[in-house]
Amino acid sequence: MKLISSPSSPTPAGHYSSAVVHNGVAYVSGQLPRVPGKPADFAPVTIEEQTRQALQNAEAVLLAAGSRRDLVLRATLYVSDIAYWAAVNAEYAAFFGVHKPARAIVPVGAFRNGFLIEIDMIAAVA
């Protein structure tokens, strides 16, 4: 088992690793739309911006784990309001292109600090 961190994504705010790699699979912890280099409570304004940032953070962790977006097996997207589904789906589709990993979108209610989304992923390691 290998614990992963990435200087290109925000430092975990709790007692967890950004990802764990085991038996050729990377398990990426939930990534909020935190912007590296900005205060921990800074959140982009729109759900589209937040979705893009959370996906970019997840991708930085994937790369540090020896994986990449086209090797994602499953993604779980936690949204503060199901009304964001269409906007989140559009950003997600643009990010993955023709690749279509298994996915769930789960409405969970309010996050702290104005965050609207959190994304975790499971991916094969290259």
Q: Which residues contact 119 (CB under 8 A, 6 or more apart)?
A: 30, 31, 51, 54, 55, 58, 75, 76, 77, 78
CATH architecture for residues 2-124: 2-Layer Sandwich (3.30)
**Average pLDDT estimate for 69-82:** 98
Residue 90 predicted with pLDDT over 90: yes
In this predicted structure, what is the pLDDT of residue 11? 86
Residue 17 predicted with pLDDT over 90: yes
Separation CA 45–CA 38 (nearest Å): 14
Residue 102 predicted with pLDDT over 90: yes
**Average pLDDT estimate for 81-85:** 96
Residue 39 predicted with pLDDT over 90: no
Q: Give phi and psi for 70, each to the nearest 5.
A: -75, 0
SS3 103: strand
All structural domains of the chain with their residue ranges: 2-124
